[in-house]
Amino acid sequence: MQWLPAILILPYFILLIRIYTGLLKISRSDISGEPKTFISVVVACRNEEKNILSLLNDLEQQNYSTNLFEVIIVDDCSNDNTADIVSSFHGVKDIRIISNTGNGKKQALRTGINASKGGLILTTDADCRMTRNWIRTIAGFYEKYRSDMIIPPVMTVPGNGFFGRFQELEFLSLQGITSGTAMIGEPVMCNGANLAFRKESYLRHSGNLHDEINSGDDIFLLHSLKKEKQQPILWLESPEATVETLPALTFGSFFKQRSRWISKSNSYQDRNTIVLGVVTFLAVVLQAGTLFLSLINPSFLPVFITIFILKSIPDYLILKNSTWRYLRKSLMKWFLPSQLIYPFYVISVVIYSLISRVK
């Protein structure tokens, strides 16, 4: 009975090793030729006067015909100078700022997509930065595969100290899971900071985004598209298609952001996502629980060590793959301390999300 926890962690080990095999299939996508798809870049923002100009400058520098893309900025009830900055920007030939017809990011995106002219929608956030070949790379990939949804990489700007490194590692682990599950045909996550999808597909599924929940405009769309089982949802591996986003500046904002992310999990209906969430939470509880028991009763120490090893092996493989692909392999020196802290962080986020009201 004492070794039961070590048996219970085996599903986590098996599932993450399977995801790791997906990572081994990833190859870089290099786009040749000149794509001709008309693109609508839709950005929902609120009070982003400090960041929006940098995003607009990146969009101005895009290596894509100015006649083949538009930029729609949807102002979601800002009370700063965001709207004035966008209105006075003339670097992009076809740019509009419109007001959200409702409230919140989901309705803001819906407002922008309904007003768009393109057959392919690209979404990003106001605090993101991208390369000059961002639009071109995604458009070329779309013309090659005609997927309903394309998931490109999202990276965080490197932070400082242990908190910054922990945040980078955790984000890279999410990228590893995102890309690995997509590569095995069972995508469970995506990020609206860098996402492409067909407009007609979005309109078919926009009623399934759980508007009663503040977040999840991206993942609920992904789950709804998966049910349709038409075109595959594809991962796009390319540094040219990658966007960088700002990390949380304080632990409090980081903690609240993760709580907001996890608060929507009660509404998930996708089997792959539910299974992954359950086995992951069970794994962190088993690791934290056996560590606590081993402090009370040393006979549990071998059990804790076994669980720690079984959990750490696939975690290490996924993170090593991700850090090497994104040229951040120096982060792996923080793996062990992060691995010890991670279970308590996850449990705390889950508890906080259950007792607090997410805004």
- Predicted model pTM: 0.93
Helices 10-23, 301-325: inter-axial angle, 10-degree rounding = 10
pLDDT truncated to tens, each residue of the chain (359 aa)?
Answer: 678 888 999 999 999 999 999 999 999 888 778 899 999 999 999 999 999 999 999 999 999 999 999 999 999 988 999 999 999 999 999 999 999 988 889 999 999 999 999 999 999 999 999 999 999 999 999 999 999 999 999 999 887 888 888 999 999 999 999 999 999 999 999 999 999 999 999 999 988 998 888 788 999 999 999 988 777 899 999 999 999 998 887 888 887 888 877 878 888 889 999 999 999 999 999 999 999 999 999 989 999 999 999 999 999 999 999 999 999 999 999 999 999 999 888 888 888 877 776 55
Q: For residue 293, give the amino acid letter.
A: L
Is the distance from CB of 178 to CB of 66 less than 8 angstroms?
Answer: no
Query: 28-175+188-255: what CATH class?
Result: alpha beta
**Look-up of token digits 């083949």:** 68
Question: Where along the chain do its domains lie?
Answer: 4-22+270-348, 28-175+188-255
Is the distance from CB of 91 to CB of 57 less than 8 angstroms?
Answer: yes
Q: How long is the chain?
A: 359
